[in-house]
Amino acid sequence: MAEQNLEAKLKNLLKQEKIQLWNPPYTEQDQQPGQQHMQELAGHYAPLLRLPVSEVGGALESIRAQAVKRGKGNQTFRETSVATLELLLPRDAKKDPKVRTYLETRLDVSAQQVVDRVAEEHGLRSIKLILSGRTLSAERRLDEQGVKNHSKVMVLRVSDGELKQQLTEEEEERRSQEESVQRTQKGFQILSERDGSEDPDTTPFLEIADQKGNPLKIPPTEKKALILAMGFHEKGRALMKRKQHDNALCHLLQADQQFSKCGSALLSSVDNYAVLQLDIVWCYRALEALSCLEDGRSRLQRAEDCFLRCYGEQQERLLMIKGNTGREEVLFLRLYLLQSLLSYIEGNDSQARLQLSKVESLYARLRPDSEKMAQLMALGFSERESRLGLRACRGDLQEAAIHISTRRQEREELKQRERQKRRTRMEAISALMELGFSQRDAARALHHADGNVDRAYAILLDSSQEAQATNNNTEGGASPEKVEQVRSEVTFNIQTLLNSDKTSQRKAGGGASLCSPPAVLFLSLQLLYLGFERDSAEAALRLTGGDVQSATQLLLDNQGVLSPELLTPPSTSSSSSTPSSEEPSSASSSPEDSELVSEVLEDIAPHEEDYLDLTLEEESELISAMKAYLHREPAHT
């Protein structure tokens, strides 16, 4: 980083004095440096920077060589349309960390062609190309994706291709790693489509809620994108904990793409998006890819703006919602630390020191006190609870113990409310199913009716009437009086099902005379409106002599399905039941889907404040490094 810092300072000085190192007398006709003038320039700047002349001279030559190469690249691009790209290779793929790597290519070729060249020339396997925080699509052309002459392209390894294995094993490993992002997306897509109508113990589903656990009303499209974004983010954070920063960055960038599909109002009201930006730049730091300064700087600015909107200028909104601000302060510590790092790389030492002073102040307050941690853990609290509790209460041991106990009680009450909510929902769905509706339709209607069973039934009935509109035109419509009569009967039955512990079971009489087929066809339409299948409706009407009320009760008693011997061959006329009664339920899942869901759920942190539970070990190391860089003793020149 020291080299980047020095070069940034020199570039600012050269710009102020309007010195162009790529022109004479600093660069001669053969593109070689003008040694005398370069030496004089180094002697001029060394006292200003309080650094040795040799160190300043080396940095000036690096800047001059880059400028000459850039000029050549511009000329080549004008004459041949061949662009020069700077490649930011993985650390272990660089032969010399101080030497930049370039690639010449046309921009009208696919990204896959460049991937193949990079892989071959640098001995890499399974790589992705990242431009300004976006993954380049392998199939599309470079120029279609914003790649220009002199663009900086990050080469991200997504699997370990350096292992000495058999080719078949390498290919299998490569495919497995490449499928990681796809499997994560598929798993969270399945979860985003579940509505909670199934038993949560066997069919998990996700619900987006606020800090108090209250579900948020979000349009379906945005909700799906938000679940995918948060899912990719969780997977990325899990990989960061395992120090797999290459793979983590792939998932975090996918999360960023999904967040972009959410409305700005939603993004400005939650801190998830800000935390994601911090995590992406933290991965840049871990991968030593901070030369992507422009993208890193803009992401940190977005994170800071989002925090200010969510928490308030003085964190007053956060204080009002959570009662304290101590836990979230670790996010500002990381933000200021990354801002200090970027300022240093840009050569702005004063700004770097200013941000670092904020970091040190926060670190002194937030670093774990081992003695107090031990005392809280002796009381039965976990390490995470102890750390977060002490931060929330500014290190007060007694207050932290009370705070942790209160948080435990709140979480338990939230779980109880969730269990009761699910029980009530499942009871309501069962009641609607006993009226002959499918589980999927019942769950959807109940969702649209905000849990109101009567409104859900009305939605289902109206949906059934619309589905049978075509049949009414060809087979004759049922009278409004009859339909209203059936509606009243079933509404009464809904209330009976919900208000009694056990619905009385009555058997239909077997001595009724059969009515004529036309009458059966006419009256069965009224039962079709209720969601019953045609075969069952016609059989029930035959058994009850065409009495709609008795047929309805018979179907309810048998949960809409009569035994096979009671059913007659199906009618030749075409009709359908409720709109989606024959569609597979989105909640049902194949063994493969269940495996995908289980896989992604493993990476979801069990604690809702896991993203705040930073041990600050990595931050401590970076703080020490920054202090060493900024407080270097001036060299005697």
Give the model's pLDDT for residue 520.
39
Assign residue 34 a region: left if phi > 0, alpha if psi is -120 to 50, beta otherwise?
beta
Query: In terms of C-beta density within 10 A (0-12 exposed, 13-18 middle, 19 or more buried), how is residue 202 classed?
Result: exposed
Question: What is the rounded distance in angstroms from the CA atom of residue 561 to the CA atom of residue 546?
Answer: 18
Query: In angstroms, what CA-CA distances link 368 with 334, 373, 376, 380?
Result: 16, 7, 12, 17
Instruction: Single out the residue of 309, 306, 529 nearest to residue 436, CA to CA.
Output: 529
Those residues with Cβ within 8 angstroms of residue 573's Cβ, 6 or more apart along the chain or in another chain: 471, 474, 475, 521
The C-alpha angle with vertex 258 and arms to 341 and 310, in degrees rounded to 5, equals: 60
Q: Which residues pair with 153 in a beta bridge?
A: 87
Assign residue 306 a region: left if phi > 0, alpha if psi is -120 to 50, beta otherwise?
alpha
pTM (global) more than 0.85: no
Query: In angstroms, what CA-CA distances link 394 with 55, 106, 310, 400?
Result: 46, 58, 22, 8
| pLDDT above 90 as % of the chain | 37
Give the model's pLDDT for residue 628.
93
* Number of residues assigned to the chain: 637
Question: What is the rounded distance in angstroms from the CA atom of residue 401 to the CA atom of residue 390?
Answer: 8
At 248, list the tokens.
């983590």
* 10-residue mean pLDDT series, the chain (637 residues): 90 93 91 92 93 92 92 92 92 80 94 92 88 88 94 80 39 54 70 58 58 64 82 90 89 90 74 93 88 84 91 78 79 95 93 96 91 94 92 91 91 84 84 82 80 84 66 47 50 50 39 36 48 65 65 67 52 35 44 70 73 91 94 59
Question: What is the rounded distance in angstroms from the CA atom of residue 327 to the CA atom of residue 329?
Answer: 5
Helix axes 453-467, 397-434, angle to 10 degrees: 40
Give the model's pLDDT for residue 483.
45
Q: Which residues pair with 154 in a beta bridge?
A: 88, 130
**What sign has the CA pseudo-torsion 458, 460, 466, 471?**
negative
Those residues with Cβ within 8 angstroms of residue 553's Cβ, 6 or more apart along the chain or in another chain: 489, 493, 506, 508
Beta carbons of 395 and 326 less than 8 angstroms apart: no
